[in-house]
Amino acid sequence: MAAERIVAIRERIDEIDSTLIALWQERAALSQEVGATRMASGGTRLVLSREREILERFRQALGADGTQLALLLLRAGRGPL
């Protein structure tokens, strides 16, 4: 019985992972589009105040690990600084 429950839980974890990967890819593509659109209209590649907002939102929701996750998300969308 425990083995069956573990299999079911792992299947759900795999589903969540697939969703996270798809969302990560979508977020990165959208972020790249924002940056390209901003640059095409004469703006900068990134807006530090916006990045700080994202970092703070993730930190408040998830703590220190949230900050690390947000940094990875930001880098996926804009590339390294």
Question: pLDDT digit string (tens) for 5-38?
Answer: 999 999 999 999 999 999 999 999 999 999 999 9
pLDDT at 79: 85
Question: pLDDT digit string (tens) for 34-76?
Answer: 999 999 999 988 899 999 999 999 999 999 999 999 999 999 9
pLDDT at 81: 75
Task: Sketch out the chain's domains with CATH numbers.
Answer: 2-78 (1.20.59.10)
Vertex 16 angle, CA 15 and 18, to 5°: 65
Q: Which of 54, 2, 56, 6 is nearest to 27 (CA)?
A: 54
Taking the model in full, what pTM does it have? 0.87
Q: How confident is the model at residue 80 (pLDDT cuts 50, 70, 90)?
A: confident
